Amino acid sequence: MGKPKFLVSTGAGISAESGISTFRDAGGLWEKYPVMQVCSADGFRADPELVHRFYNERRKQLQQAKPNAAHAALVELEKDYDVYVITQNVDDLHERAGSEKVLHLHGELMKMRSVKNPDYVEPLDIEHLETTPRTRGKNGDLMRPHIVFFQEPVPNMEAAAALAAEADIFVVIGTSLAVYPAASLLYYVRPGVPIYYIDPKPANVSGVPNVTVIRETASKGMEELAKLLEKKKAD
Ligand code: APR
């Protein structure tokens, strides 16, 4: 019998304590940038220079950020659980914290991909943080940020839903549950599986059965969750 399957779905809130701004909080990214200009298929077609510059800026900021206690707590849980992280975040903080299994729904800031072939992806590194519409990959293709824009499909959603359907515990951390299909992951969880939602200003989940809301920041909420799980094991 393997370890219980612990599935965690994270949003921008888990990276807030690492100094990366969220999208919809006061002062969030979408207050400063017109989202449809910098994060939509139409916006990319209209002004690719602006979109490349926007992600260059976020990639540069990411170099100053470090994983926080919440990322570390998820790694810690790998001792007792088979932990799988499904994240809407495009930062690499889960990987840098040491999480073994991470599935990105909305792409990855530290990668670029071919404009014409979405399956051709190349890593970006500290020496190559900037891309432009003229950047070419090793195979000669013109490249773009490896980000899922609004108006584009979410290729990893099917895999994420399959993982949610197998979870023995499902945890949601730091997401407004405003964006679909990511927000619908909650509904793939089998009946009776406990769900925990950690967020200081949680979205309304009163319609979802079996949810325990922990109204805390990610790091404090993970401490509280660890205690709840310990207590459950003792019962
Ligand atoms: N700890 C935990 N949660 C926090 C913290 C914190 N310190 N600070 C803020 N939050 C919560 C907010 O209360 C909110 O519920 O994080 C959530 C951030 O919500 P959004 O800004 O909407 O971010 P997210 O849900 O990840 O957005 C989803 O929208 O624009 C797209 O692709 C983008 O992946 C993103 C998606």
Please spell the DSSP secondary structure of 109-148, one letter per residue.
EEEEEESS-TT-EEE--TT-----TT-B-TTS-BEEEEE-
**Euclidean distance between CA atoms 38 and 191, whole angstroms:** 39
pLDDT in tens, 33-44: 899 999 999 999
Q: Please, what are the averages of pLDDT over each run of 10 residues along the chain (235 residues)?
A: 95 97 89 92 97 95 97 97 98 97 98 97 93 98 98 97 98 97 95 97 94 98 96 85
Note if the bond before 200 is cis, omega within 30 degrees.
no
Hey, which residues does 103 pair with through a beta bridge?
86
User: Could you tell me the pTM of the whole model?
Assistant: 0.97
Tell me how far apart the alpha carbons of residues 33 and 141 are, in angstroms, rounded to a whole number: 28
**Residue 55: strand, helix, or coil:** helix
Catalytic residue positions?
106
Percentage helix, strand, coil for the chain under 3-state DSSP, each rounded to 5:
35, 20, 45
Q: Is the CB of 17 under 6 A from ligand 1?
A: yes
Spacing, Cα 97 to ligand 1 middle (Å): 19
**Residue 162 half-sphere exposure, CB side, CA atoms within 13 Å?**
6
Consecutive H or E run containing 221: helix 218-234
Which residue's CA is minimally distant from atom 34 of ligand 1? 88
* Ligand 1 close to Cβ of residue 179 (< 6 A): yes
Instruction: Out of 8, 14, 22, 51, give the residue to mutate to test ligand 1, the one with the largest number of ligand atoms within 8 Å of its CB.
Output: 22
Residue 82: beta bridge partners? 5
Distance 153 CA to ligand 1 centre (A): 20
Q: Is 178 in the pocket of ligand 1 (CB under 6 A)?
A: yes
